[in-house]
Amino acid sequence: MLSTPTYDPLDPATLANPYPVLAAMRASTPVFWHEGMQSWALTRYADCVAVLRDHERFARDRRRAGAVVPEPSLSVQSLDPPEQAPVRSLFMNALRAQDLDGIERRARSLLAARFSRLAELTEFDVMADIAAPLAVAVISDLLGVEEPGVDSFAAVSDAIMRSMDAGLDPATVEPGRVARQELSALVESWFRTSDRPGLQSHVRERADIVSDGDLDVFVRNTARVMFQGGYSTMVAAVGNAVHTLLQEPIALERMRDSAMLGTGVDELVRFDGPVQGTSRIATVPAEISGVTVNAGETVLILFAAANHDPAQFPEPERLLLDRSPNRHLGYGWGTHSCIGTAPAQTALRALVASLLEHPTPLRAAGPPRRRRTATMRVFDLLPATFRR
Ligand code: HEM
């Protein structure tokens, strides 16, 4: 008799490659109850999109299900329409006003300088030596703030990232709360002192015009979410992209073509993206693929499963750089979709172009190590070398 598959995101085999077990879940029980996460997990692309679209029946804002949400957690990410709308449009408009070409040029010169230093080494860690400094530079440049020290910022960011798995590991809650406080203090100091042009000053000027007490709090909290969320997803995305390209050197070569580079960085996020899922709470009883979800229950949208659903993506396990259509969920969908997609694509393009420009190819230099986290798919260690 065949045993029923089970999904444990922290199982070592699943951390190494989550897609086979997610495919097995989709085939056997596409909507399943996950006891550890106390959630209904969705594995079909169509079900995930339907829930993300329907913010009336599936809330992000936990207050709509009676929960108390502490003020520091109220941001674009945790509010729902209509309260979310002014904050989201303030940040979206500010982002559109930024010089992404300039950010891409600066990212490329940073990478060229780093690569030539790293070229001497028999081994280095892509995560610490490329992904973290690139992400911190791009996000600081975008927001228009002084770069925090990479090491101390990485520690704060990691504590917040780990606390996203609080449902599976309650021990991560308190370090996450302390880290959020530290980051809030940093953001406060930017709002008081930073006069570097960028998204932050743009938002500050516009927020003053429309200022009321709540909006002010939401704006500051959103600035914190953007910096930390943008940094941690970008680090993870860079690591995952490099890892994929180390396995697929021909794909890297094909990205010398600029059209292929443009679509390819998106396919890399579908293929092995950093954000594995998100959650919503049912505000009324709802049926999803024949399963009844009660009001107040949590629904887990598994982006990683949706992005490998063969009903939406033919040959989902192949990296097809010019895949079309490619409406993947790596950047989410709907009213909470990623605000930072364009700068993230900018950073990934700069990374790939810089790898192609370097005189020697990057090669794996040892076994990589995945971090034991469920929400974010990220490497702790990714050894590589430019030496022949
Ligand atoms: C490759 C890198 C990135 C990936 C894969 C990514 C992915 C995502 C995903 C999946 C969501 C939706 C989560 C949900 O529905 O609950 C999201 C939301 C968000 N992202 Fe990104 N992101 C990336 C980079 C960035 C960057 C660079 C920034 C900031 C500059 C950023 C800012 C945000 C914000 C503020 C939200 C919340 C939007 C809202 O709830 O309205 N992201 N991101």
Please compute, for residue 76, the number of CA atoms within 13 A of its CA located in the half-sphere on the CB side. Answer: 24
- Global pTM reads 0.95
Q: What pLDDT score does 64 carry? A: 95
269 lines ligand 1 (CB under 6 A): yes
Return the ligand 1 atom nearest residue 348 CA. Answer: 1
Ligand 1 centre distance from Cα of residue 361 (Å): 30
Ligand 1 centre distance from Cα of residue 331 (Å): 6
Per-residue pLDDT tens listing for the chain (388 residues): 456 689 999 999 999 999 999 999 999 999 999 999 999 999 999 999 999 999 999 999 999 999 999 888 899 999 999 999 999 999 999 999 999 999 999 999 999 999 999 999 999 999 999 999 999 999 999 998 888 888 878 888 888 888 888 878 888 889 888 888 888 888 778 777 767 788 888 887 776 655 566 677 888 889 889 988 999 999 999 999 999 999 999 999 999 999 999 999 999 999 999 999 999 999 999 999 999 999 999 999 999 999 999 999 999 999 999 999 999 999 999 999 999 999 999 999 999 999 999 999 999 999 999 999 999 999 999 999 999 8
How far from the centroid of its chain's Cα atoms is residue 341's Cα? 9
Return the ligand 1 atom nearest residue 345 CA. Answer: 1
Return the ligand 1 atom nearest residue 199 CA. Answer: 30
Ligand 1 centre distance from Cα of residue 340 (Å): 6
Let me know the angle formed at the C-alpha of 335 by 206 and 318, rounded to the nearest 5 degrees. 120
Q: Which fold has domain 12-385?
A: Cytochrome p450 (1.10.630)
302 lines ligand 1 (CB under 6 A): no
Ligand 1 centre distance from Cα of residue 162 (Å): 16
By the 8 A CB rule, do 255 and 264 touch?
yes
Ligand 1 binding pocket mutation candidate from 233, 280, 301 (most atoms within 8 A of CB) = 233
342, with CB counted inside 10 A (0-12, 13-18, 19+), is middle
Q: What pLDDT score does 1 carry? A: 43
What DSSP string runs through 267-279?
HHHHHH-SB--EE
336 lines ligand 1 (CB under 6 A): yes
Q: What does the block give as tokens for 203?
A: 């938002």
What DSSP string runs through 256-310?
TSHHHHHHHHHHHHHHH-SB--EEEEESS-EEETTEEE-TT-EEEE-HHHHTT-T
Query: In this structure, are strands 383-385 and 124-125 parallel, antiparallel, or unpaired?
Result: antiparallel
Return the ligand 1 atom nearest residue 333 CA. Answer: 15
Q: What pLDDT score does 180 carry? A: 85
Name which residue sits closest to atom 24 of ligand 1, judged by CA. Answer: 230
Q: What pLDDT score does 155 carry? A: 85
Identity of the residue numbered 212: D
